[in-house]
Amino acid sequence: MVLEVRNRLAVTPVQFRRVAYLALGSLTLIVLTGAAVRLTDSGLGCENWPKCGGTPLPPLSSHALIEFGNRAVSGVVGFITVVAAVLAFTRRPFRKDLAILALLLPLGVVAQAVLGGFTVLHHLAPGFVMAHFSLSLLILVAAFALAWRATYEPGSRPRATDRVAVWSTRGLLPLGALTIFAGTAATAAGPHAGGSPGQRINRLSFDGRATMDFVIHRHGEIALAFGLAAIAVWWLARRRRAPATVRRALTALCVLLALQGAVGVDQYETHLPTELVWVHVALACGAWLAALWAACAAGRLAPRGARLRSEPARRAPVGSGSALKFPGS
């Protein structure tokens, strides 16, 4: 019986790859809808969890409907990640690395739901808000790794030999993570508390009214350092003739960071309007995905002194020989 079910659910590498990209897209979408909840002051539209008010369905108010809508979207995203996890075990040929990564996605969504519940129950306390967004970016790491690994079969890409280029590209990730974390602190201290007027919302405050300016300026400084580092790595990749995929990923990262910087300056000068803050968050997600793309494209380093194949990278074999292309690959 179990074998029959597995056979019915069996998927090809191409089919599973499409599911992996769908999971990545849906997990990115939920980050943006979560930001919309906060920026519309709907974070406490449902003041308890998992119910919305005293009933499972939300009352007819805009804030409750927006908050409940985000929960509903999270449920759909959770279902997609469960499907990805199940199909990872029925993919033929089976790959353990894909199965492990796929399992992390529904586990991450469950952890995110629980953390979201604590965030609501603690009236959007800044620590929970920051952890909630940070966890979303960590889940995107697993989702991107799943999509990238599903694009290639083991051994189909030659190992990298330029250690300077690889490690400098990888080094952008911790700096990007620090930039995003500083951004969550700016959100936790900024004017968009996430709750409706009159609701008691805890805010990040360690220096009174000067907290917001302090956090925003530190975030700007770290983001500037990230941008300059990305440009330096982009220049280095061109000088050392890194693979075209790496250079395209770094170019995308630099462009997104430049746009993010322009939007950040504009929103600060215009006192953080909601629409610009949401665009800023969207660009931050894009920049994070671009940094992950560059790190994955840089590849794994070959052991020192090892002899490498000279042929170009091959995509995963898929049936008739066509492959679902990864952007820029």
Say which DSSP state 146 is in: H
H-type alpha helices, the chain: 2-9, 13-39, 62-90, 96-121, 126-151, 163-170, 172-189, 211-239, 244-269, 274-298
Q: What is the pLDDT of residue 321?
A: 38
Distance CA 312, CA 152 (A): 13
Contact 105, 160 (CB under 8 A): no
Long-range contacts of the stretch 246-249 (C-beta < 8 A, 24+): 246/165, 246/169, 246/294, 246/297, 246/298, 248/328, 249/290, 249/293, 249/294, 249/297, 249/328
Which residue type occupies 127?
G
Q: What's the pTM value of the predicted model, to 2 decimals? A: 0.84
Q: What does residue 152 show for φ and ψ, rounded to 5 degrees?
A: -125, 145
**According to the 3-state scheme, what is the secondary structure of 74-140?**
HHHHHHHHHHHHHHHHHECCCCHHHHHHHHHHHHHHHHHHHHHHHHHHCCCCHHHHHHHHHHHHHHH
Rounded distance between C-alpha atoms, residue 9 and residue 86, angstroms: 9
* pLDDT value of residue 270: 79
According to the model, what pLDDT value does residue 208 have?
56
> Per residue of the chain (329 residues), what is the pLDDT tens digit?
555 555 667 899 999 999 999 999 999 999 888 888 877 777 667 777 777 766 677 777 777 788 888 888 889 999 999 999 999 999 999 999 999 999 999 999 999 888 888 887 777 777 888 888 889 889 999 999 999 999 999 888 888 889 999 999 999 999 999 999 888 887 766 665 555 555 556 656 665 556 777 888 888 899 999 999 999 999 999 999 999 999 999 999 999 999 999 988 887 777 777 778 888 889 999 999 999 999 999 998 888 765 544 444 444 444 433 333 444 44
State CA 108 to chain mean position distance.
Answer: 12
**How many angstroms separate the Cα of 209 from the Cα of each of 140, 188, 203, 206?**
34, 13, 11, 9
Q: How far apart are CA 157 and CA 159, in angstroms?
A: 6
Residues 6+ apart with CB under 8 A from 67: 37, 42, 43, 44, 45, 46, 52, 58
User: Would you state the pLDDT for residue 306?
Assistant: 58
**Rounded Cα gap, residues 155 and 145, in angstroms:** 16
Measured CA to CA, the distance from residue 325 to residue 30 in angstroms comes to 24
